[in-house]
Amino acid sequence: MTPEDRPATSHEREAGRPWDESYQDGPAPWDLGRPQPAIVELAAEGAFRGRVLDAGCGTGENALHLAAAGLSIVGIDVAETAVAQAQEKARDRGLAAEFFVGDAFRLSDLDRTFDTVLDCGLFHTFDARERQAYVASLASVTGPGAMVHILCFRDAGAESGPHPVTRAEFEAPFHPETGWRIETMRDSRIVARFAPDGLPAWLSTIRRVDA
Ligand SMILES: C[S@@+](CC[C@H](N)C(=O)[O-])C[C@H]1O[C@@H](n2cnc3c(N)ncnc32)[C@H](O)[C@@H]1O
């Protein structure tokens, strides 16, 4: 069954409920109404190619930015309200981006594969065990050579945003035996409605290296 013709599973609805509440009374704290500046820069560098997945897409601004640049993009999120908003924006803007309610831990349910994955603000919401499961889920929809770009809060002492991730914590689920190689980990920033100048972040690119 394809994502188009199946409703959200009860697991997805359950997982999405707290997240969905963030979207119900106006914009969520991270929902800028425009793409993240770091993702705009990354796209301008040509970092996205082929079929692109936006995992935890929220209301779709990053995915729609990539769609407007001509990329083939699917966005998934557990929050039904966010997905409905993303679908409406795609319709209003005449863009071909597809958005589905879906769980990042069950990406194989999509029954598709991707050349590039974007994760803007999802990875840092997971604990260490969830990150391992998420990385395995990413492997289920990618092949060798696929690239994953993750923008997540970085541990920066007093200046840290919510859920800061240390370098060691970031590297742990991508250790070499998992079939992934971290290519770059750059200092970056995540802009939020509560932090218009941005908070310290890692902008990382990881390559799938195994078969
Ligand atoms: C901090 S928000 C970032 C949203 C969006 N990427 C952006 O930049 O505006 C994290 C998003 O991940 C979604 N999310 C959380 N857990 C998820 C999961 N297991 N599968 C898919 N999406 C999830 C939330 O609903 C939320 O929209």
pLDDT tens for 58-75 read 999 999 999 999 999 999
Say if CB 35 and CB 61 are below 8 A apart: yes
Q: What are phi and psi for residue 30, nearest 5 degrees?
A: -95, -5
Predicted structure pTM score: 0.94
Indicate the domain borders of the chain.
10-208
Q: What is the mean pLDDT of residues 172-183?
A: 93
- How far is 211 from 119, CA to CA, in rounded Å? 22
Query: Which among 85, 78, 96 has a CA at the least distance from the CA of 9?
Result: 78
pLDDT tens for 117-165 read 999 999 999 999 999 999 999 999 999 999 999 999 999 999 998 999 9
Fold of 10-208: Rossmann fold (3.40.50)
Say if CB 52 and CB 71 are below 8 A apart: yes
Ligand 1 in contact with 191 (CB < 6 A)?
Answer: no
Ligand 1 in contact with 180 (CB < 6 A)?
Answer: no
Would you place residue 5 in the very low, low, confident or very high pLDDT band (cuts 50, 70, 90)? low
> Which is the closest atom of ligand 1 to the Cα of 54?
6
Strands 114-120 and 180-192 turn out to be unpaired
Q: What is the mean pLDDT of residues 14-19?
A: 77
Would you place residue 9 in the very low, low, confident or very high pLDDT band (cuts 50, 70, 90)? low
Query: What is residue 210's three-state secondary structure?
Result: coil
Ligand 1 in contact with 198 (CB < 6 A)?
Answer: no
Residues listed for the chain:
211
> Which is the closest atom of ligand 1 to the Cα of 134?
19
Helix and strand totals (H; E) in the chain: 6, 7
